[in-house]
């Protein structure tokens, strides 16, 4: 299976694996229990150049792309989902700036690539998440060309440690329908008010917080892209990070399977090994099948993003397939592995208990399972998925059709 990855990515995996073993894995259970953002792990990622992986050299990065960052996320997620999520946010908070393509935000991107600053992505609202048309946060134009933001944003991950928020708000148009625009607001900033921290069932080291924007003045330069470009920027940014979320589920599932395998090999039952029971073997086989299918989809999805093939509906659908498959794989692997390990796996001292809780996040975050599947269905009806980066899509009319 080595040809799924280039030689560079295999070497990268090995170096990340060593860092994870020494610096991330020993902290994972404390990060979960203490519910504090792991600043020390962020510093490891910064000092080891892991934060810089997805960015080009011109952006201050090392040019490993999304495929490279996905390998890092996979390895980190084997140990600690919160820490893997730190890497996901690196990408999520900069894709809007990269997609808008303006030189104006070059310093901000370089700041994230070098670990000098961090961003947070503020799209979701109390009454608008999947249905982004319901967004109520408004950006009202002021006489000096700037804007005043008002509204509320929910579940903003990493926001207590962020140096800037990427905020999506409706801007007025001459027609009745306001359009979405995107802004970068440095924090702290007058008019951005902390409301509360939301405690979730998993990813407990990552602060997810709700914020109010009250008469929050920003300059025209804070706008990312053109007025009305926000929906496009949000959509493509969310698409571009899906391979990283898929990699998180992949790493988690691999580790769950490893726990189940090791336990089944050691545990004595009815005078033999637990692994000798066929039901246990079949469960491990099912996890392994899902893991390998997820791996193929995930690595291919990462390459699609690096080839900048995530703007079309068909390519995006392939990328969504990786994330939806991975979210299911991660939950299934955690659930079945816990079943194999039995009561020990249910106890807080066992990593499976944490991994089970962390895995559930994936089917909700940045595109719920249902919303992504609907987009995949739409692409299917529109001619199909591209079958990954190496095979181009055959136009419908060129395919042999039954008479
Ligand atoms: C821990 C955590 C961290 C998060 N961090 C961030 C963040 O940093 N920034 C940010 O902007 N957001 C963030 N979110 C929000 C996240 O990305 C999702 O947008 C949000 O969780 C969607 O959930 P909701 O409850 O609002 O669902 P809704 O959108 O209200 O949907 C409810 C249910 O309806 C289903 N549904 C929706 N539309 C359809 C349809 N057309 N057909 C069938 N079913 C449908 C959904 O799949 C879901 O099952 C975070 C969420 C969580 C849980």
Last residue of a domain, one of 185, 202, 227: 227
Kindly report, residue by residue over 147-156, the tens digit of the pLDDT.
999 999 999 9
User: What is the C-alpha to C-alpha distance for residues 214 and 159, in angstroms, rounded to an integer?
Assistant: 17
Average pLDDT of the segment spanning 359-364: 98
Regarding whether 171 and 258 lie in a shared domain, the answer is no
Last residue of a domain, one of 95, 113, 131: 113
239 and 385, same domain (yes or no): yes
User: Closest by alpha carbon to 80, among 244, 207, 252, 245?
Assistant: 252
Q: Are residues 357 and 379 in the same domain?
A: yes
Are 27 and 101 found together in one domain? yes
Closest residue by Cα to atom 12, ligand 1, is: 124
**88 and 136 together in one domain:** no
**Ligand 1 centroid, distance to 71 Cα (angstroms):** 26
- Domain of residue 169, residue span: 119-227
User: Ligand 1: distance of its center to the CA of 44 in Å?
Assistant: 31
Instruction: Give the residue, 388 or 132, on which the prediction is more confident.
Output: 132
Residues 373 and 235 in one domain: yes
**Residue finishing a domain among 180, 203, 227:** 227
| Residue to substitute in 84, 364, 367 for testing ligand 1 pocket (most ligand atoms within 8 angstroms of CB) | 364
| Residue whose CA lies nearest to ligand 1 atom number 51 | 365
Q: Per the structure, how many domains does the chain have?
A: 3
Q: How far is the CA of 277 from the centre of ligand 1 (A)?
A: 40
Both 23 and 108 in one domain: the answer is yes
Whether 269 lines ligand 1, by a CB cut-off of 6 Å, is no
pLDDT attached to residue 392: 53
Closest CA relative to residue 243, chosen from 295, 165, 176, 191? 295
CA of 269 to the centre of ligand 1 (A): 43
β-pair type (223-224, 179-186): antiparallel
- Give the atom of ligand 1 at the shortest distance from the alpha carbon of 158: 8
Q: Pick from 78, 79, 75, 72: which is nearest to 26 by CA?
A: 79
Tell me, using a 6 A CB cutoff, whether residue 204 lines ligand 1.
no
pLDDT at 1: 44
Structural domain contains residue 275: yes
> Is pLDDT at 10 greater than 50 in this prediction?
yes
181 shares its domain with 328: no
Shared-domain flag, residues 301 and 174? no
Given pLDDT bands bounded at 50, 70 and 90, which one contains residue 177?
confident
- Would residue 403 count as lying in a domain? no
Instruction: Determine if ligand 1 sits within 6 Å of the CB of residue 88.
Output: no
pLDDT digits (tens, 9 = 90+) for 312-326: 999 999 999 999 999
Q: What's this model's pTM, rounded to 2 decimal places? A: 0.96
pLDDT at 251: 98
* CATH number of the domain to which 131 belongs: 2.40.110.10
């Amino acid at each position: 299976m080595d040809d799924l990855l280039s030689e560079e990515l295999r070497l990268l995996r090995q170096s990340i694996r060593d860092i994870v073993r020494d610096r991330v894995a020993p902290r994972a259970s404390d990060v979960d229990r203490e519910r504090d953002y792991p600043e020390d792990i962020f510093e490891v990622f910064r000092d080891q150049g892991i934060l810089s992986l997805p960015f080009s050299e011109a952006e201050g990065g090392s040019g490993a792309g999304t495929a490279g960052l996905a390998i890092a996320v996979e390895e980190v997620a084997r140990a600690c989902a919160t820490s893997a999520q730190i890497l996901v946010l690196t990408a999520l908070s900069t894709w809007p700036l990269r997609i808008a393509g303006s030189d104006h935000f070059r310093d901000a991107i370089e700041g994230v690539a070098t670990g000098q600053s961090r961003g947070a992505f503020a799209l979701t609202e109390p009454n608008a998440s999947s249905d982004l048309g319901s967004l109520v946060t408004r950006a009202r134009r002021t006489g000096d060309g700037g804007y005043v933001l008002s509204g509320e944003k929910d579940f903003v991950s990493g926001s207590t440690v962020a140096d800037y928020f990427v905020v999506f708000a409706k801007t007025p148009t001459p027609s009745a329908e306001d359009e979405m625009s995107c802004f970068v607001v440095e924090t702290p900033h007058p008019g951005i008010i902390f409301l509360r921290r939301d405690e979730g069932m998993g990813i407990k080291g990552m602060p997810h917080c709700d914020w109010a924007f009250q008469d929050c003045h920003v300059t025209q330069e804070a706008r990312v892209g053109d007025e009305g470009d926000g929906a496009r920027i949000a959509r493509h940014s969310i698409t571009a990070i899906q391979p990283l979320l898929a990699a998180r589920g992949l790493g988690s599932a691999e580790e769950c399977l490893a726990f189940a395998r090791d336990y089944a090999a050691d545990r004595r039952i009815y005078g033999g090994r637990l692994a000798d029971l066929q039901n246990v073997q079949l469960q491990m086989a099912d996890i392994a099948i899902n893991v390998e299918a997820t791996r193929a989809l995930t690595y291919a999805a990462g390459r699609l993003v690096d080839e900048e093939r995530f703007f079309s509906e068909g390519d995006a659908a392939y990328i969504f397939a990786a994330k939806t498959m991975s979210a299911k794989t991660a939950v299934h692997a955690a659930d079945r592995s816990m079943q194999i390990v039995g009561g020990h796996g249910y106890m807080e001292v066992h990593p499976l208990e944490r991994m089970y809780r962390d895995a559930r996040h994936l089917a909700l975050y940045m595109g719920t399972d249902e919303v992504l599947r609907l987009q995949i269905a739409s692409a299917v009806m529109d001619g199909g998925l591209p079958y990954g980066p190496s095979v181009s899509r055959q136009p419908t009319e060129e395919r042999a059709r039954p008479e």
